[in-house]
A and B are shown apart, each in its own frame.
Chain A
């Protein structure tokens, strides 16, 4: 039998409830941002959004939205958890489940384990700190002892699904080390019940049939670099013979032939030179048979900062490059060809789906330690790849310890990890805590330490903030066009 209170709630509300000038709803947590002079965006705790005329946020907060007069908006606000007719929204548990889903990338803890298998390299790229080391194997290759210890540490991760990524230098110069590491990991993964993914990051110049046969046998993915057409790539990536581009393209074709089309991907490094050629770079990727491109700015860390002329540029300049390149990519899609920009795709997934995206550079809590860890060739352990870059320039802030001297708990839950934990959630950072784009963005203590000398960072002068705010705003702008919105949905669902 229903209690009196329960019976009462089932009755139709009195007419005066609907006709009152000031409504009686309760606010739910949400944020707003002015998109332009006409429109503003409201975003709730799980990233659901409404684009509304300017002034709507004020009306909502001052209880000027009327359930009868503004029936559609009122219904949208109720159904999207912006307001509630009860003190506790009746579907609060549903919202909590969705919040948990958005943060579910934390459930498994560290998945990506980077092994810097050798620091030796056959290139001398002007933005790379590791390209100038000698060919001395004993000094710059990862010792087997450290490979074993790194694998043992990796097996302690609570995550069942692990990615083992081999980086350099040029990782393939120490292919014997990679083989050793994979064979050893296969045994250990069997014992510990881990499901492994292997990735080799390589410029492909030392690649051979034998290497690729081994990769095929062990389902190893290849991640290479392509900076654009030959005149950009070879200018960025110096090697004897000035044939880095030719070797990369030949290697990509060989990978596709032996491993399969989808087993090789390429990453772009955007230098000052690249900024003048957005269309040419996109067209190069398209013409080489790639169906996606990742437009990312150069990391302002370590050696890249030494050569300011070639590697330093304003965020504004990068954003202009990004938008022009994105326009070219979208035009391919509007002509009927599937071609995706990966950074936009990451953000769009956060905006348009209830799921998290496993991208370590744009998440809160940050990817460092939570999703990625780096075992350096010399046994030192770093919080991320960027942390290692800083260490190569003698900044050891993000060195968590050593495979020789530290336990799993020391490295992953130690004093340094706890220090970083205070600044790795954007929910608690100045400037981010009230930002409407918070759930689409992330925190990056390493970037802010490197560029501003402050782990928390100063948002008004942060290139990270400027870049992400503008890209997210631009994507919302573009989605005003239904055709482009359809293209974006195609990118996140994989449907053309």
Chain B
């Protein structure tokens, strides 16, 4: 993370390889109440500008520490979001399925590619 301050504007340069788009937007969304936030893709980096900041040393120190911590937090959150996406979808699908159960088809299924679907189902259960 590279930081630079010019007038009342803090520019933060982040590697796109390290911070995916969702992390950058979710993190700096929370800064948009206090600052004017601009996010741009530049080559292999994210270029984020926070305008109207307090440039006193103490305030700047607090702000950069907060940015650093928030980025780390949102990166961790995104790991959980990405890794659990399927489970989350499965969970809500099961929750709203109204006790529907998977039943074996009661009719003969056409088998155009040469295998018996009921055999596949049994195999899946065993493994």
Contact = CB atoms under 8 A, between A and B. Distances in A.
B114 interface: no
Nearest to A102: B95
A96 B89 CA distance: 11
Contacts of B79: 27, 61
B83 A96 contact: no
Interface string B58-97: 0000000000000011101101110110011011101110
Contact of B95 (A27, A99, A459): A99
Interface residues of A, number: 31
A86 to B, nearest CB: 11
Given A434-B26, A460-B31, A30 B80 contact: yes
Contacts of A458: 32-33
B29 A29 contact: no
Contacts of A391: none
Interface size class of B (residues with CB under 8 A): 20 to 34
Given A97-B95, A458-B32, A61 B76 contact: yes
Determine chain B's interface SS by DSSP, over half rule. Answer: helix
B52 to A, nearest CB: 14
A341 interface: no
Given A92-B90, A430-B29, A29 B126 contact: no
B107 interface: no
Contacts of A103: 95-96
A2 to B, nearest CB: 10
B127 interface: yes
Nearest to A99: B95
A173 to B, nearest CB: 44
Contact of A460 (B33, B83, B92): B33
A93 interface: yes
A355 to B, nearest CB: 15
Nearest to A462: B33
Contacts of A460: 29-34
Nearest to B72: A58
Contacts of A123: none
B126 A3 contact: yes
A472 interface: no
A5 B33 contact: no
A196 B87 CA distance: 40
Contacts of B96: 100, 103
A358 interface: no
B70 to A, nearest CB: 10
A61 B79 CA distance: 7
Contact of A95 (B26, B32, B81, B91): B91
Interface of A: 3, 5, 26-32, 34, 45, 57-58, 61, 88-89, 92-93, 95-97, 99-100, 103, 430-431, 434, 458-461
Given A29-B80, A34-B73, A93-B94, 12 more contacts: A29-B81, A29-B84, A45-B91, A58-B72, A89-B87, A96-B95, A99-B95, A100-B96, A103-B95, A434-B26, A434-B74, A460-B33
